[in-house]
């Protein structure tokens, strides 16, 4: 009897905290949520990328593949802060720029695919990476339409094209028209926005 009353409330609190997080994102009514779909709460669990328990359901497998039902564009800054390092958050969610020649990938030649650090979408293929001598990883082509661009007027008299992840809107860097053939484009990207998955 005594041991039951000790253990149950703990589990209850944990589950309520999870549900509160859920309510702040997804507009469910703020009542007891045991009745709400377990599918959503298991997605939330899978979203904690640093959590050690991620083998709960098939949902976590969907997340691994980047094809899950998570609506990345609706995640709050608070949620992103939990998922990213300070630098990754500053670059991708606050449109920061890492210092040249300091990022992880500016000089990397390893074959593989560069994925979005935020949502795991494949963005650039290593075979399209070239040495731009700028100190940032540079590519002349994106993978499909996984990268989008948008006019950036944040520096007066210097309009630039910002590039973002099409899936989660992460700020990646900028694209310029002084790249090599065949595209003539130079996608100048922050290493902190990327995760290289080397070819097996």
Q: What is the DSSP string of 174-189?
A: EEES---TTT--EEEE
Binding residues for Zn ion (CB under 5 A) = 116, 118-119, 121, 165, 167-168, 170
- Kindly state the smallest distance separating residue 167's Cβ from Zn ion, in Å: 5
Rounded to whole angstroms, the Cα distance separating 112 from 91 reads: 22
Comparing C-alpha atoms, which of 143, 148, 146, 144 is closest to residue 175? 148
- Contact (Cβ atoms closer than 8 angstroms) between residue 75 and residue 25: yes
- Is residue 188 among the annotated active site residues? yes
Residue found by looking up tokens 């210092």 in the block = 99
- Kindly state the smallest distance separating residue 46's Cβ from Zn ion, in Å: 16
- Kindly state the smallest distance separating residue 140's Cβ from Zn ion, in Å: 20
Residue found by looking up tokens 């595209």 in the block = 183
Residue (33 or 165) nearer to Zn ion, CB? 165
Catalytic residue among 116, 118, 168, 188: 188
Residue (121 or 126) nearer to Zn ion, CB? 121
Residue (115 or 185) nearer to Zn ion, CB? 115
Quickly count: other Cβ atoms within 10 Å of residue 158's Cβ. Answer: 8
Catalytic residues: 188
């Amino acid at each position: 009897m005594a041991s039951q009353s000790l253990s149950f409330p703990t589990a209850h609190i944990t589950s309520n905290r999870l549900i509160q997080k859920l309510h702040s994102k997804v507009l469910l009514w703020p009542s007891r949520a045991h009745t709400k779909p377990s599918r959503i709460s298991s997605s939330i669990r899978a979203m904690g990328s640093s959590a050690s328990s991620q083998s709960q359901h098939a949902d976590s497998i969907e997340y691994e593949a980047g094809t899950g039902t998570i609506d990345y564009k609706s995640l709050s800054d608070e949620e992103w802060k939990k998922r990213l390092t300070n630098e990754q958050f500053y670059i991708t969610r606050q449109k920061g720029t890492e210092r040249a020649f300091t990022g992880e990938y500016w000089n990397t030649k390893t074959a593989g695919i560069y994925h979005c650090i935020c949502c795991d979408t494949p963005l650039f293929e290593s075979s399209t990476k070239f040495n731009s001598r700028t100190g940032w990883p540079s590519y002349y082509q994106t993978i499909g339409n996984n990268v989008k661009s948008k006019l950036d007027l944040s520096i007066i008299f210097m309009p630039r094209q910002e590039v973002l992840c099409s899936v989660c809107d992460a700020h990646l860097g900028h694209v310029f028209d002084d790249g090599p053939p065949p595209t003539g484009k130079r996608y100048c990207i922050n290493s902190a926005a990327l995760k290289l998955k080397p070819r097996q």
